[in-house]
């Protein structure tokens, strides 16, 4: 099954807002995992901390890409494969 989250053309600011919101959800997930009572293995915590840093870095790059584009609209496509 495929869950399509995004598939369209968005004005730059709308595209950036969507990217920020989706990334915030994923970062929040990892932060909740770090603070969960059942998630106290050091390697799991380090993995989540590393993933948060990667998400923040990737978001910064994506925003810079949007700002650098000379196009007024940005194409965004995102889907999740469940299986």
| Assessment of whether the complete model's pTM goes beyond 0.85 | yes
24 and 59 in contact (C-beta within 8 Å)?
Answer: no
For residue 9, give the H/E element and its range: strand 2-11
Q: So what's the pLDDT on residue 39?
A: 63
Helix (H) / strand (E) element for 13: namely: helix 12-35
For 34-82, the pLDDT digits (tens) are: 888 766 688 888 999 999 999 999 999 999 999 999 999 999 999 999 9
Rounded Cα distance, 51 and 17, in Å? 21
> What is residue 36's predicted lDDT score, i.e. its pLDDT?
83
Contact assessment for residue 62 and residue 19, using Cβ atoms and an 8 Å cutoff: yes
Token pair recorded at residue 3: 């869950």
């Amino acid at each position: 099954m495929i869950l399509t989250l995004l598939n369209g053309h968005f004005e730059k600011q709308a595209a950036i807002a969507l990217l920020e919101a989706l990334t915030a959800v994923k970062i929040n997930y990892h932060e909740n995992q770090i603070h969960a009572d059942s998630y106290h293995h050091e390697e799991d915590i380090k993995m989540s901390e590393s993933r948060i840093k990667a998400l923040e870095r990737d978001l910064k790059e994506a925003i810079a890409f949007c700002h650098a584009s000379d196009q007024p609209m940005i194409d965004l496509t995102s889907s999740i494969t469940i299986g």
